[in-house]
Chain A
Amino acid sequence: MTTGIELRNLRKLFEGHGHASWAVDGVDMTIGAGKFVTLLGPSGCGKTTTLRMIAGLEMPTSGQIFRDGQDITDQPVTDRDMRMVFQDFALFPNMTIEDNVAFGLRVKSKKGKYTEPQIQQRVAEFLDLVHLKDHAHKKPHQLSGGQKQRVSLARALVTDPKVVLFDEPLGSLDANLRKIMQLELIRLHRELGKTFIYVTHDQDEAMAMSDAIAVMSQGKVMQFGTPREIYDRPANRYVASFIGHAHIVDATVDSKQADSLSVRLRNGDRVGLRGKADAAPGSAVGLMLRAEDLAFADAATDTIGGRVVDSLYRGEYVEYVVALNGNSGVVHVHARTDLPPVAHGSAVALKVNPAKAHVVVH
């Protein structure tokens, strides 16, 4: 028996106007109890649909959902004890903030769980938790976006659910507020120890907050791992190019040792890197090169050659765009701003950090 949420070969077919498409196409995932797991992917990849199936708002076409080892696929949404934070907040416009937060408790109180004074006290406690004590008697339309966001958070958390589901909850907030709310969510997750399942298409947000990230594309999970695994060791070209600003250069495996290997670019330059790859010598792979893992080198040995075609001053660093020799690809390089600038058109040699370079097979 596993604790937490388990998705088994979850699929969802949407039909309409004579055409049907799989919004979610075989998702397998185990989300440990108390973890912060993020579904990350571009628009339309099936994140919301997956989340809605977990919540019980959408019925899977096939596959199963387990919670703590129990099959809950057919359990009605009202019995699931998972709270969803909607992208548009979905606050009840006719009720005060207080009544919005109390709603889930009043539902339960019908079943004799809380008395009215207990409800009042709990609501006050949670409004305090999200710093909205002074707004208890306002209506939702009188609040700012960030405040509404926190009301919907309090409304979800006040009923003490084991699992909280978030559908792009920060999507409509400005950049500063987003940062603040991200920290707030991390704090709440740490303090409350609940399972958070979070949907976003913002990879920085996913990286910063999650214990694990599922990178999705076209209804499938392309990789499920910790932010570090996803960033440093992407499982395939899709994940590598989606996460961070990685450039993938075509290469062939040259030689392979126990924990290192050497690949050759199309122009013949060789790159050595640490780690394992699931590719035999001679097979074609993609070499993932990130700007921060490349540096200009003086000597031409153990480097790859190219020509500077563009440069961008970023404040923190200068970003050079380098076309590799022999049409082998384009990479970006970050250089310190106090170094003398490199002129456009200059031939340069690039050193690759062997610990960070990575090959992808698919």
Chain B
Amino acid sequence: MTAMTTIERPVELKGTSIRSARAIERRRLLLWLVPPLAWFTVFMLIPYATLLYTSLGHVDDMRFIPGLSLDNFVRVFTVDPYLSVILKSARIGLMTAVFSSIVAYPLAFYLAFHVRTQRLKFLIYLLVIVPWWASYLVKAYAWKTILGSGGILNVGMQNLGLVHEPVRLFLYNEFSVDMTLTYIFTPFAVLSIYAQLERVPTSLIEAARNLGADGWMIFRRIILPISVPGVVAGAIITFSLAFGDFVAPVLVGGPDSVMISNVVINLLGVAFDWPMAAAIGLVIITLGLLLISASGWLEEKTQTRF
């Protein structure tokens, strides 16, 4: 009897029904939602709305005239060089993503499967991310000196007698932009692939070896398929970062290796055509959203469920 009363009493004594308790909960929940909603409004909603508003107007005599015209969007796809620059940026992004994945995979693989001690793992991990403590500009400049006429690549080849004159092939072209961006963004691919490889349990590899599989077969049939989503995620990150880059093309790119961000900067700072810049921005953001959705779908599709 006493046990029963102690169970039933508290609800009655408080004098609050379950429904009003829920209402309190809901009010409290709203309170918790205020900061993220405020953040979203200030940093996402308002800027995007402004961007859209700007892109629909035009500039006349350096003054912004509001409007509701889609002209700027049409120009993105019809007037040179916007579309071709977007495509070239995408090509540079793609090359960067491919090169980064190729460079990052073996390192991530080594880190995940061949480094035995936790300390060494941490050390290598650190070496991968430490370049991020150096300024972006410094790293981009470093590649200028590596690839340039007096750079170690040319000097080395001359000393080896491979060439007699400095080769100009390395610097001031699209390839040098690819190289520099690959160097700068590879750590993202390493971390993304490594995170995925870490999910492969040791017992899977032991089971495969127990069934007589050699290293290549284990890699091809088990590790590689499981690691695909990590490669996809890494490629998307490196692609996006490289696509929007505007420093590397200026420092190591040739006269024709202008990327879309450089174009936008010119429109903003030199031509003062803000509506056109906004339209390009929105097009890129839309393409980006499509890309992220597609890659999300691809990641989901290739993800191995354990």
Contacts and interface: CB of A to CB of B under 8 A. Distances in A.
A84 interface: yes
B226 A83 contact: no
Interface in B209-255: 209-214, 217, 221-222, 225-226
Interface string A69-103: 00000000111001110101011111100000001
A104 interface: yes
The B interface, classified by DSSP as helix, strand, loop or mixed, is: helix
A344 interface: no
A88 B207 CA distance: 11
Nearest to A52: B206
A209 B111 CA distance: 43
Contacts of B304: 93-94
Contacts of A139: 305
A93 B209 contact: no
B214 A90 contact: no
A187 B153 CA distance: 69
B201 A90 contact: yes
A155 B201 CA distance: 18
A229 to B, nearest CB: 32
A103 B221 CA distance: 9
A55 interface: yes
A179 interface: no
B142 to A, nearest CB: 40
A108 interface: yes
Contacts of A155: 211
A141 B304 CA distance: 9
Contacts of A94: 222, 225-226, 304
B159 interface: no
A159 interface: yes
A83 B206 CA distance: 11
B226 A78 contact: no
A93 B210 CA distance: 17
Name the residue among B204, B212, B222, B305 with the largest chain A CB count within 10 angstroms. Answer: B212
B208 A103 contact: yes
B203 interface: yes
B32 interface: no
Interface residues of B, number: 20
Contact of B222 (A86, A92, A104, A141): A92
Contacts of A159: 211-212
Contacts of A103: 208, 211, 213, 221
B203 A93 contact: no
A259 to B, nearest CB: 49
A107 B211 contact: yes
A83 B211 contact: yes
A10 B201 CA distance: 28
A141 B306 contact: yes
Contacts of A86: 203, 206-207
Interface in A88-132: 88, 90-95, 103-104, 107-108, 110
Contacts of A93: 204, 226, 304-306
Contacts of A104: 211-212
A57 interface: yes
B19 to A, nearest CB: 40
Contact of B214 (A78, A83, A88): A78
A38 B43 CA distance: 65
Contacts of B207: 84, 86, 90-92
Interface string B179-219: 00000000000000000000001011011111111100100
B56 to A, nearest CB: 48
Interface in A272-327: none
Nearest to A16: B117
A92 B208 contact: yes
Contacts of B213: 78, 103, 107
23 contacts: A55-B210, A57-B206, A77-B206, A77-B210, A78-B209, A78-B212, A78-B214, A82-B210, A84-B206, A86-B203, A90-B203, A90-B204, A90-B206, A92-B222, A93-B306, A94-B225, A94-B226, A103-B208, A103-B213, A104-B212, A107-B212, A141-B306, A155-B211
Interface of A: 55, 57, 77-79, 82-84, 86, 88, 90-95, 103-104, 107-108, 110, 139, 141, 155, 159
